[in-house]
Structure 1
């Protein structure tokens, strides 16, 4: 900067600057320092070159001071930072290696424990269960023999071979173990010779066989009854317990002792609910257009279905669950969610003559052959269709005032429907034919709503007045 000022011309005389005035701290020319006429006359002056060299020395001293006091300190801090970074990287690597070593050790321990557990199971099985294994084998053989005989009966019916079915019944009735005598069929061979009766006769015989596989109304009796403070429209069987939604809670009870096993908070009244294998409850809330799940930790919203209203729910045999949905001014549908998180789904619509059959589906169940049975509240009917939407049958009841409310499947794949209007439970075969009707008034049940069948054959019926009745259904 001093060199630049020295090379600059004087502002007053426009000549080269040759001297430096210590009094004014400025560079001046020769004319400015003339005696009497110059502005700097009598001031202490020195050569501009000397002043420039002096300033350069001062700048050099400042640079040295900066290097010593600042730059060196920054360099030291940088070296220390690199040292800390290297130490952290070494520590992270050691932690990762230690974690890998512990993981391998734990995996070895788990595998070792698993092998020991399998060995213990095998030893226990060989030591304690040969008799049980033998009984199970005999039961399995009997099951296969019965299924083979039933298949022969079906084939005989389809082909119209009456003589074969009669011979099969007379010779193998004990093996079928239907708990039914066929003494009334002793005169059948004479009637079989009539040319106009074989088909109807065989149909009657096979109808008797199917009827014998379900306990009639006379064999049912009430085992237990108790009351809640809300009408029981939803009831669900899980293992040896039943789940009921009472005010503010889902409650799990033993059906015969009414012992409460578990309860989960539910501040709303659900449209329907199911209980998963892990005891998590999934329920629908119609007015919120949402499906929720209660986990052991909290309640989460799985799906918002607006503009469709979710109503009925049922577990799917291949995992996940089904949900029935409807909306005003549109047809209803069934949605299958592949998992409990509702992350993947597919829609099922049942058509008849190019038009959707479902109007307002409210309840749904799935039987063993993956057929879906849906209660449609708009026409008051029960519709059966397969997993791709192909219609199988539409059951509208055999009496007036048919009002289906609850639906479930028993262990023999029969469809049970609670008829609120006629105070009955209709039992349908897998093809939709009416097998029998159970009159409920003799048991004090006048408003049947939610129904379910436990794995040990107890029929649980919920009433509109809050009562739950447990009936001995399957003998």
Structure 2
């Protein structure tokens, strides 16, 4: 509850902060109780207009123009992102800029502030609190566990009496040292979390102050910091040592007394909270007995290869020309972006910051589209990029084909810096098929290797040339290959698009068999989705687990409800 509200939500005077407010000075935008009205009116340096609180008008607090002090800013320059007055506009300095009414901009910004505040208060802050509580509980359990280790050492020491006192003390010292390291690590971890919690409190307080102030300048210049806190601090994981005792042998007393397993301290990257993520774990969603088609988007391409959700009602698409289209559910084109090179993009993906990524096979580049401006962020040498995805931690995973088409691999980029290569299994054998380069359908590369990251951080690749879904863990070690369900006796398994839902199900498009395969995270087949699909190719799911299927043959996106 807000500190200035009681259980009955009583609003207090802004001056004394003790008595209920009854009036408001509309010119000063301040709430007053009965006792403070006279004190406020005694300030004769400026005009006042005190009215009963319930009769106040919602008068916007227009900021004064910093360049024309006799003017108030009632307009907003979209390009410069600042409030401006009529004189600023007539001066020509904002010629050609998009100008809007500042109250319209205020409404949009206020809505954004409210959403940020809600996310911070109801989603982020509770997650941080819960995380801090978990670490604190682990500290309590730590004492019990290490106490048991010490007791075990003492009991064995009593059996061996004075002959092993030196060894007992040595072991206890080792335990204490590990405990200190363990405790120190957890204390450092909880300090980091507590610091973030303190920062969140300040941000929340600042947002509340802005919303309460009705100050257009503060609201219109507000910059959201929510993205800084969506990724939780690193979470320390410590493998607690165990005590192993052996039979007593005086000749080998030191060796057989037992040993402590090494203290293992690993840091897990904090989970990233999406804007619509709730505090509690996602609910279990069973599969529907009969998946159903809920909508169809006509993209206008003659062939359709990729689809990527921007939000629930908007998708980016890539077809058989050099343009990438942003469409809504009514098949209306909202934006169209042409590639920088003029060549067809091979694949598209949406980043966590809702920017567009695309791969250009011919000029070996990965490109970022931000505010309709294209920036080449990665240029490859000796390799050509195939398919791409953006992960929950905002990394980029890209499948690649060597220039001689004899090798394939997966690269991970963090901040557009290469951080991981996945190419061979533990026996040195290639994980992915070599490049069988085939041109069909007016320039489409059939050796696709669509890629996605699962909730457990497995990396899933639909290797079309190998007719298999290849899944490796976060370290790049092979977990399993899925080569189709035995019930399919029609045409060979032809995996193309691949995506992951909130239940960690793996969904892959089977182009030749006109269906979708649903697997669990361990590669066990769950069911098919048919829904009269024709040549399903690219796949994606939105935050509500609606499945978007790009049909190559019809160039339509079909939206399917299956959970």
Native 8 Å contact 1:293 1:302 kept in 2: yes
CA distance 1:351–1:242, change in 2 (3 Å): same
Q: C-alpha offsets along residues 67-100 of structure 1, whole Å, 9 cap, x if unaligned?
A: xxxxxxxxxxxxxxxxxxxxxxxxxxxxxxxxxx
Mapped pair 1:117 → 2:207: yes
CA distance 1:224–1:377, change in 2 (3 Å): closer
Aligned position for 1:425: 516
Aligned position for 1:386: 473
Distance 1:114 1:225 in 2: 40
Distance 1:287 1:315 in 2: 21
Mapped pair 1:377 → 2:459: no
Q: C-alpha offsets along residues 379-429 of structure 1, whole Å, 9 cap, x if unaligned?
A: 121100111111111011123421111111122211111101111100010
CA distance 1:349–1:258, change in 2 (3 Å): same
Structure 1 segment 56-67 matched on structure 2, within 5 A = none
Aligned position for 1:355: 429
Query: CA shift at 1:344, angstroms?
Result: 4.2
Q: Please give the secondary structure, in 1, of the residue aligned with 2:305.
A: coil
Distance 2:375 2:529 in 1: 40
Structure 1 segment 250-269 matched on structure 2, within 5 A = 250-255=324-329, 257-266=330-339, 267-269=342-344
Aligned position for 1:365: 452
Aligned position for 2:414: 338
Query: CA shift at 1:238, angstroms?
Result: 2.0
Aligned position for 1:230: 302
Query: CA shift at 1:289, angstroms?
Result: 1.9
Native 8 Å contact 1:227 1:466 kept in 2: no
Q: Please give the secondary structure, in 2, of the residue aligned with 1:374.
A: strand
Return the match for 2:387 from 312, 330, 348: 312
Which 5+ residue runs of structure 1 have no aligned equivalent?
1-110, 125-177, 179-209
Native 8 Å contact 2:292 2:531 kept in 1: no
Structure 1 segment 238-317 matched on structure 2, within 5 A = 238-240=310-312, 241-246=314-319, 247-255=321-329, 257-266=330-339, 267-296=342-371, 298-317=373-392
Aligned position for 1:451: 539
Query: CA shift at 1:349, angstroms?
Result: 2.7
Query: CA shift at 1:113, angstroms?
Result: 10
Mapped pair 1:437 → 2:528: yes
Structure 1 segment 109-148 matched on structure 2, within 5 A = 115-119=205-209
Return the match for 1:214 from 259, 284, 287: 287
Distance 2:449 2:496 in 1: 9
Q: Please give the secondary structure, in 1, of the residue aligned with 2:540.
A: strand
Distance 2:333 2:517 in 1: 30
CA distance 1:370–1:389, change in 2 (3 Å): same
Which 5+ residue runs of structure 2 have no aligned equivalent?
1-198, 215-282, 435-447
Aligned position for 2:559: 471
Native 8 Å contact 1:222 1:469 kept in 2: no
Q: Please give the secondary structure, in 1, of the residue aligned with 2:534.
A: coil
Distance 2:464 2:425 in 1: 17
Query: CA shift at 1:374, angstroms?
Result: 0.5
Aligned position for 2:497: 406
Native 8 Å contact 1:326 1:359 kept in 2: no
Distance 2:411 2:514 in 1: 31
Q: Please give the secondary structure, in 2, of the residue aligned with 1:356.
A: coil
Q: TM-score, normalised by structure 2?
A: 0.45
Calculate the aligned-residue CA RMSD, in Å: 2.9
Native 8 Å contact 2:463 2:496 kept in 1: no
Q: Please give the secondary structure, in 1, of the residue aligned with 2:517.
A: strand
Distance 1:464 1:407 in 2: 15
Native 8 Å contact 1:423 1:440 kept in 2: no
Query: CA shift at 1:249, angstroms?
Result: 2.4
Distance 2:470 2:212 in 1: 48
CA distance 1:295–1:390, change in 2 (3 Å): same
Aligned position for 1:9: none
Query: CA shift at 1:123, angstroms?
Result: 12
CA distance 1:403–1:114, change in 2 (3 Å): closer
CA distance 1:115–1:330, change in 2 (3 Å): same
CA distance 1:471–1:274, change in 2 (3 Å): closer
Query: CA shift at 1:313, angstroms?
Result: 0.5
Distance 1:389 1:219 in 2: 33
Structure 1 segment 165-176 matched on structure 2, within 5 A = none
Query: CA shift at 1:116, angstroms?
Result: 4.6
Query: CA shift at 1:119, angstroms?
Result: 4.0
Q: Please give the secondary structure, in 2, of the residue aligned with 1:450.
A: strand
Mapped pair 1:396 → 2:468: no
